[in-house]
Chain A
Amino acid sequence: MNFRIFSLSVLTFLAACNNSDPQVTEGTFEIPPGPVIVTPAPGPVVAPGPVPVVIPSVWPKDNVIEDKNAFDAGPEGGIELALVDEAPAVKHHSTTIGGKTVEYTATAGHLVAYAPNDTASSGTEGAQASIFYMAYTRDDLPKENRPVTFFFNGGPGSASIWLHLGSWAPKRLKTSEPFIPESAYTKKPATFPWIANEETLLDKSDLVFVDPVGTGYSQAIKPHQNQDFWGMEIDARVDLDFIRRYINKNNRQLSPKYLYGESYGGIRIPIIANMLETAGTKSYEPDPSGKKATVLSGVILNSPILDYDTNCGQGGDMSCNGFLPTFGMTADYYKKGTKRGDAPKSQYLDTLRTFVREKYNPARSLWYTPVLGQMKDLANQTEFQFEWLTTYWDNAADARAWAAVNPDNALSYGTELADLFVTDTADHENFINKFLVDPYSTMKDFAETAAKNVEKAFTPGWLKYPATPVGNDFFQDMTKITGLDIDWFREFELSSNKFHASIMPDKNLGIYDARLNIPKDGGYDLTFYEDEAFAAGIKTVLPDDFNYHNASEYSVLGDVILSLWKYERENKLQNSRSSLPDLVGTLTYDSTVKMLALHGYYDLVTPFHQTELDLLGAGLARRIPVENFEGGHMIYYSEEARIPAKKTLDAFYDAPPYTPPSVTIQTMSLN
């Protein structure tokens, strides 16, 4: 009998961790706001490369745009096509990257995203949306080999502001995270320094930051409305229509193309990538040279969500095993966890992954039944809602008084909670009636009952577990890892929300980077620590760095988008909870597309290990490396993560198109 033995040389892909001291880049200059200075176009420049090539100056002329178009971010918002002016605002810049002077163009403006087949235009090409973008381009380099990267934030409903101002553009807002100055203990910082970005990706790629419809200054073109584009499928389609327009207009058909998405970008980008590869070279107009267009070269997923049905942060009947290593890293950061000991971080991360596989998952198998899963979910959610309610009223009497004078609000709030938790019609009505009289006690009793019901649903195996040596060891390990000395028999499958609230009880912690902390006393919700400074930043960056002026408010984030979003796929043929099939679809069309996922260790929203597990489960672990850094969801805010993350990205851009690992086939005869 012949057996084939496959010896695979595969990529090393997990956890590149860093134990070195923070590599903070200091001494960079701040750009003071000031009048627009038009830089004269420079003379010929020399392109980098082994053979110096003199390239004639191709810098576009500076152009100041006073955009009079009002921006309407609302669901029914839209603009007439005739009002859209695609002439961009342009400003020439010169900066220093790695000791070298680099010139680039900053371009901001609108491009019309045209759908190839638009039902509103009788099936012909039709204008969909006026998409706002902000681009940084090295116009002195030949376009054919010069990559271009399209950046999308997530939400859904978020503008590209966080990636644009915080990550890899030629300048950045320096948040200095996780450090928070005392001046920001009681109020968010109003500004951050706008500094030259030593880690900019401009040395590897032109950078285009894109605002989806209803964000930034992007809006639908009538008769379409903004909300027409607020759904999984249609959002990706219109984003792709923009990309197509940008590529054609700027003659970038031959350029290597990269997509970079964050958070919900983990859904958005794979769908766009799959659509691009489906359309193939027809994605773009033919290049005038007659050469074949480069469809897509690489996909970078920054703290992505890949599967809503495995992320227990939303609650639901699913394991929190993907969160445990993040709990472990956070507890270790605060010196609450004791499991790590003196082990290097990289070794401890593997210990945590092994613990999940060998200890946590078997314990959950013993614990789990579908009924218990649902009970636990209900208990977690009711507890959370009760805690939230106590932020309004910390006692029953105050809540009763409020309900008495605000019956309409009490009714809507009570109905909202009942809709969330109570399916039985009679119980639903009872809950609301009680809530109208006594909101505090009603919610408190409901949460306590839900917690008791969890215990009633414990399996016989779980009831015996604490008395076994294995169970005893497991609970002790859970305390050592999480730093929480709690009753793990009852608290097992702890939610990220509860961990977040418990690990440092005297502090408010960030949820996107759990290292961020301020004293609870006098503090505020750190979740959106940077938002005011970023919103202020874009107001000066657009006129000062791009020559773009618009009196309308740049829409940083639309809550309404989030609430109206349609989590649906075309013909319901694709799972609307996960983008993993789109990643596989993309790679099936084109096996050479490079892919990379980046995460921060302290992100309690999209934890790194969940992505590792999702990719492993889908059979993509060897194909899509996950690289993790000393940071949170917005990895790039973290000073310590920036240089290592940039090195990883550099290697990714420098790598040739993907080729499968070499496979050695040996034939061995066994009798």
Chain B
Amino acid sequence: MRVYNLSFALIGMLSAIAVGITTSGAGEILGFPPRDRAGVVRPKMNQATVQQAVDQQLKARFDAAAGSNKVLTAQQASDGGWGFISDHFAEIDRDKDGFVSFADVSRFMAPRSPLSVAPARPAGTKPIQIIE
């Protein structure tokens, strides 16, 4: 049997299987993720790291939807599952040329954050840091 890094209670319960005792568990169990390998350090969640995670997701989504073009049309956004952008395209596309860059998207999104830390600014230039 594998190691289960779950709650204390659950480790015990699953261990029981190894000695042949039937588990009685049901109910609303809360599982926990497996532990990280030694040396893996995850950033603690605070305003800055949470905002950074949101910014990174935004960039990844833009890159996925825009492909190599570096710009998005409303149709591309919609086709790429990013309906929010097509819903707000007229507001984001300030020069009304039918294309938005990541800088346009970032400029539109930044003031919408509920957090008081500054989201990533015009963007595109900042390398993406992988969280894990």
**Which positions in A face B, CB cutoff 8 Å?**
116-117, 153-158, 162, 262-264, 277-283, 305, 307-311, 313-316, 380-381, 384-385, 388, 392, 402, 406, 409, 412-413, 416-417, 419-420, 423, 495, 497, 511-512, 524-525, 527-531, 535, 556-557, 559, 562-563, 565, 567, 571-578, 580-581, 584-585, 587-589, 591, 605-606, 614, 617-620, 623, 633-634
**Complex Cα distance A278/B23, Å?**
41
**Complex Cα distance A531/B28, Å?**
9
List the 4 closest pairs (A to B, CB-CB), nearest first: A282-B83, A280-B83, A528-B27, A567-B33
Looking across the interface, which residue of chain B has its beta carbon closest to that of A535? B26
Verify A280–B87 contact, CB threshold 8 A: yes
**Complex Cα distance A158/B29, Å?**
8
Interface size class of B (residues with CB under 8 A): 35 or more
Verify A283–B53 contact, CB threshold 8 A: no
User: Which residues 75-132 in B have Cβ within 8 Å of A in the complex?
Assistant: 78, 81-88, 109, 112-117, 128, 130-132
Question: A123 → chain B, closest Cβ, in Å?
Answer: 11
Q: How many A-B residue pairs have CB under 8 A?
A: 223
Looking across the interface, which residue of chain B has its beta carbon closest to that of A384? B8
Verify A264–B31 contact, CB threshold 8 A: yes
Which residues of chain B have C-beta atoms less than 8 A from A384's C-beta?
8, 11-12
Q: Quick one: which of B25, B45, B85, B114 contacts A559, CB cutoff 8 A?
A: B25
**Complex Cα distance A308/B35, Å?**
10
Chain B 16-31: CB-based contact to A (< 8 A → 1; otherwise 0): 1011110111111111
Verify A619–B47 contact, CB threshold 8 A: yes
Query: Given A157-B29, A563-B14, A575–B53 Cβ distance below 8 Å?
Result: yes
Which residues of chain B have C-beta atoms less than 8 A from A314's C-beta?
5-8, 32
Which residues of chain B have C-beta atoms less than 8 A from A565's C-beta?
31
Which residues of chain A have C-beta atoms less than 8 A from B29's C-beta?
155, 157-158, 557, 559, 562
Most buried by A among B5, B16, B114: B114
Verify B9–A620 contact, CB threshold 8 A: no
Asked if B73 lies at the interface with its beta carbon under 8 angstroms from chain A, I say no
Which residues of chain A have C-beta atoms less than 8 A from B88's C-beta?
280
Question: B23 → chain A, closest Cβ, in Å?
Answer: 7
Verify A308–B81 contact, CB threshold 8 A: no
Q: Quick one: which of A380, A497, A572 contacts B9, CB cutoff 8 A?
A: A497
**Complex Cα distance A392/B13, Å?**
12
**Complex Cα distance A404/B51, Å?**
57
**Extra pairs beyond A563-B4, A619-B46 (7, CB < 8 Å):** A158-B27, A278-B82, A308-B32, A309-B42, A314-B8, A528-B27, A562-B29
Query: Given A563-B2, A581-B54, A634-B28, A572–B11 Cβ distance below 8 Å?
Result: no
Q: Quick one: which of A559, A571, A575, A576 contacts B60, CB cutoff 8 A?
A: A571
Verify A158–B114 contact, CB threshold 8 A: no
Question: B48 → chain A, closest Cβ, in Å?
Answer: 9
**Complex Cα distance A406/B21, Å?**
13
Which residues of chain B have C-beta atoms less than 8 A from A412's C-beta?
1, 18
Which residues of chain A have C-beta atoms less than 8 A from B8's C-beta?
313-315, 380-381, 384, 495, 497
Verify A155–B31 contact, CB threshold 8 A: yes
Verify A591–B112 contact, CB threshold 8 A: yes
Main secondary structure of the interface of B (DSSP, over half): loop
List, sorted by A's number, 22 A–B pairs whose CB atoms are closer than 8 Å.
A157-B31, A158-B28, A264-B30, A280-B86, A282-B86, A309-B44, A313-B7, A313-B30, A314-B6, A384-B12, A406-B19, A412-B1, A530-B27, A531-B25, A559-B14, A575-B42, A577-B42, A584-B113, A584-B114, A619-B47, A619-B115, A619-B117
Which residues of chain B have C-beta atoms less than 8 A from A417's C-beta?
15
**Complex Cα distance A162/B29, Å?**
11
Most buried by A among B7, B9, B23: B9
Looking across the interface, which residue of chain B has its beta carbon closest to that of A511? B9
Verify B31–A573 contact, CB threshold 8 A: no
Which residues of chain A have C-beta atoms less than 8 A from B116's C-beta?
619
Verify A388–B84 contact, CB threshold 8 A: no
Most buried by A among B10, B16, B26, B49: B26
Verify B45–A574 contact, CB threshold 8 A: no
Verify A154–B3 contact, CB threshold 8 A: no
**Complex Cα distance A310/B49, Å?**
15
Which residues of chain A have C-beta atoms less than 8 A from B1's C-beta?
412, 416
Asked if B50 lies at the interface with its beta carbon under 8 angstroms from chain A, I say yes
Verify A279–B33 contact, CB threshold 8 A: no
Which residues of chain A have C-beta atoms less than 8 A from B83's C-beta?
278-283
**Complex Cα distance A618/B115, Å?**
8
Query: Given A283-B83, A384-B11, A565-B31, A619–B50 Cβ distance below 8 Å?
Result: yes
Verify B25–A527 contact, CB threshold 8 A: yes
**Complex Cα distance A527/B24, Å?**
10
Verify B3–A416 contact, CB threshold 8 A: yes
Looking across the interface, which residue of chain B has its beta carbon closest to that of A419? B3
Verify A528–B24 contact, CB threshold 8 A: yes
**Complex Cα distance A451/B86, Å?**
59
Looking across the interface, which residue of chain A has its beta carbon closest to that of B130? A572
Question: A527 → chain B, closest Cβ, in Å?
Answer: 6
Which residues of chain A have C-beta atoms less than 8 A from B26's C-beta?
528, 531, 535, 556-557
Most buried by B among A153, A406, A423, A528: A528
Query: Given A525-B24, A535-B26, A589–B84 Cβ distance below 8 Å?
Result: yes
Looking across the interface, which residue of chain A has its beta carbon closest to that of B117? A619
Looking across the interface, which residue of chain A has its beta carbon closest to that of B59? A573
Query: Given A416-B3, A423-B38, A591-B112, A581–B57 Cβ distance below 8 Å?
Result: yes
Q: Quick one: which of A305, A575, A588 contacts B45, CB cutoff 8 A?
A: A575
Verify A409–B19 contact, CB threshold 8 A: yes
Verify B12–A589 contact, CB threshold 8 A: no
